[in-house]
Amino acid sequence: MSDDERDAPATPALADALVGLRQRLEQSFAPPEEGGIDWMALYESARRRFAQVGGMRDIPAEIDDFGMDAAALADARTWLDWLYDRWWRVDVVGSENVPSGPCLFVANHSGLLPWDGLMLAHALDRHTPESPRARFLVADWIATLPFAAPWITRLGGVRACRENAERLLRTGRSVIAFPEGAKGAAKVFRQRYRVQRFGRGGVVRTALAARRPLVPVAVVGAEEAHPVLFKVETVARSIGIPFLPVTPTFPALGPLGLLPLPSKWSIEFGAPVDASDIGRDALRDDTLIWRVTEELRSSIQSMLDAGVRRRSSVWS
């Protein structure tokens, strides 16, 4: 044994052993020739995900000014596609009515979770992939819900208020609004496809102020995805949500019951209402605003009625 070897500390020996062990492990988990699972890749991605200290390499690349995260969207694309194509088999009708520029989509709303907004934004993204992704507005209580709210923001949800919608429209992004608001989400099953009052005309005011067209949209199918049999309000208020829905599966099946039912969806775009030639003076004309709001509401209602008549069953 030479002097060098005797003086060397124990650590290199340990390091050698570790390197050997690692090589051995890599051999056993090496990617298979064909098919099968690449364990090393899985391990590597899990390590990256859980290692907090990513430093500059893991710079979250594209987060826009309303918190939409391009990386999160790209990750979510697989299951968004799956929901769109397989689960709800979404059909799009009247896509020729979608204007090329940014506009304000006005749709009927249902369900506590913003599935309709996610799917509508996804449909628009597929229809016009080159334009910036349309952003859907979500109710206050969803926008402040712990855990859910950050994810909804990352996937393109924005808290519903006029300032946010106007800013989005002004900066060249389309907005999807559900002016029924909480009343739409709170519809019980026997009220399905009865469009509720449209707030106080805020959508029309927003479109007028931003000089963007309004596009009525009817979403058929979403109202059966979470059939609310009845609502419990007393318990819900105490945990900060407007009401606790009781569906055939929730809360009976626990969190599993939150999964939406696989109804067949169709999304119909109506003829756009051009707000740009009405003029800004109309902003002070309450009668006009109420009339346009009511026209929008009734056109969505008639599209819904036609859509419900057209389909043969809820599931196909």
Q: Which residues of this protein are in contact with other proteins, per CB under 8 A?
A: 52-56, 58-60, 63, 65-67, 69, 140, 143-144, 146-147, 149-150, 153-154, 158-159, 161-164, 167
In the bound state with other proteins, the residue whose beta carbon lies nearer, of 10 and 56, is 56
Output the smallest distance, CB 53 to other proteins, in A: 5
Output the smallest distance, CB 83 to other proteins, in A: 23
Output the smallest distance, CB 35 to other proteins, in A: 34
In the bound state with other proteins, the residue whose beta carbon lies nearer, of 67 and 94, is 67
The residue ranges of DSSP E strands in the chain, in sequence order, are 91-93, 104-107, 135-138, 157-159, 175-177, 214-220, 230-232, 244-246, 266-269
In the bound state with other proteins, the residue whose beta carbon lies nearer, of 156 and 216, is 156
In the bound state with other proteins, the residue whose beta carbon lies nearer, of 52 and 312, is 52
In the bound state with other proteins, the residue whose beta carbon lies nearer, of 283 and 314, is 283
Output the smallest distance, CB 65 to other proteins, in A: 7
In the bound state with other proteins, the residue whose beta carbon lies nearer, of 89 and 167, is 167
List C-alpha distances in Å: 164 to 137, 148, 274.
9, 19, 21
Tell me phi and psi for residue 135, to 5 degrees.
-105, 135
Neighbours of 276 (CB within 10 A): 13
The position carrying tokens 């689960």 is 87
CA 289 to chain centre: 29
The position carrying tokens 């996804």 is 122
- Long-range contacts at 79-88 (CB < 8 A, ≥ 24 apart): 80/118, 80/122, 81/122, 83/115, 83/118, 83/119, 84/119, 84/122, 84/123, 84/126, 87/260, 87/262, 88/119, 88/221, 88/225, 88/262, 88/263, 88/264, 88/265
Alpha-carbon dihedral sign for residues 298, 303, 306, 309: negative
In the bound state with other proteins, the residue whose beta carbon lies nearer, of 38 and 58, is 58
What is the number of residues in the chain? Answer: 316
Residue 13, helix vs strand vs coil: helix
Output the smallest distance, CB 273 to other proteins, in A: 25
Output the smallest distance, CB 85 to other proteins, in A: 30
Tell me phi and psi for residue 245, to 5 degrees.
-75, 145
In the bound state with other proteins, the residue whose beta carbon lies nearer, of 67 and 262, is 67
**Which among 142, 116, 133, 137 is positioned nearest to 69, based on CA atoms?**
133
Output the smallest distance, CB 267 to other proteins, in A: 27
Output the smallest distance, CB 204 to other proteins, in A: 19
